[in-house]
Amino acid sequence: MPYITIPKQFREPSRIIKSQLFLKPRRLAIFEACLIGLVAGIAGVLLKSGVGWLGSWRVASSALIPVWILLPSVGLVGGFLTGLLVERLAPETAGSGIPHVKAALGGVNLALDLRVAVAKLLTTILAVGSGLSLGRQGPTVQIGASLAGWIGHLMPTSPDYRRQLIACGAAAGLAAGFNAPIAGVLFVVEELLQDVSGLTLGTAIIASFIGAVVSQLLGGDSLNLNLREYPI
């Protein structure tokens, strides 16, 4: 049976079809960067507020319970609950989160979605608020990248731009967590991506500045965790 050769223009979708499927990817990517900055800013406020509330409760309770009993007990319970949530809800949230994001950007099939973002947010609040010796840099990066991955799957995003959106989500998360939009952009350029295009840099700048502005408007411009002072 003879083979029929199909012309190349019929084997690949035309530009018109692509634009209809992905709704002009560059413009959509800019819109998604704004949306990612918004949700990353809200997540940053929730993280700082949650850690601040739990830390304030721990300090206030020291007036009723001896410190040598309270602090180890809260740390033990917080660490246990954190480990339980990581094991049962999202094993991908183990560790700081930055190596996970780097691996996902490098092509490894790892989850970056709403489940990972919520689990990382809750476990970070429990761990840091309980007094464990942990920081917020890694969690904010993974939370922002996971929210970006979730939004990228909800919207009709071209697969060519999903990697850039995850990177700009990481930048927005870091910017929202520390009110440092320039640091968020530089972190993506230096640590996460080796090939930086104009679209990647532009979306990272947009998402970072929106995330930082939302964080400052809703949570204030202070970098501390807003622990209240209680007499001990």
What CATH number labels 28-219? 1.10.3080.10
First-residue to last-residue Cα distance in the chain:
90
Quick check: 105 and 166 in contact, CB under 8 A? yes
Which residues have C-beta within 8 Å of that of residue 195, sequence separation ≥ 6? none
| Domain limits, the chain | 28-219
Interior angle at CA 97, CA 134 and CA 28, nearest 5: 130
Alpha-carbon Rg for the chain, nearest whole angstrom, is 21
Q: Is the pTM of this model over 0.85?
A: no
pLDDT per residue as tens, the chain (232 positions): 454 444 444 344 444 434 444 446 677 778 889 999 999 999 999 998 898 889 888 888 888 889 889 888 999 999 999 999 999 888 888 888 888 998 888 878 888 999 999 999 999 999 998 888 788 888 999 999 999 999 988 887 766 677 888 889 999 999 998 888 898 998 888 877 766 777 778 889 999 999 999 998 887 655 555 555 444 4
| Rounded Cα distance, 88 and 96, in Å | 18
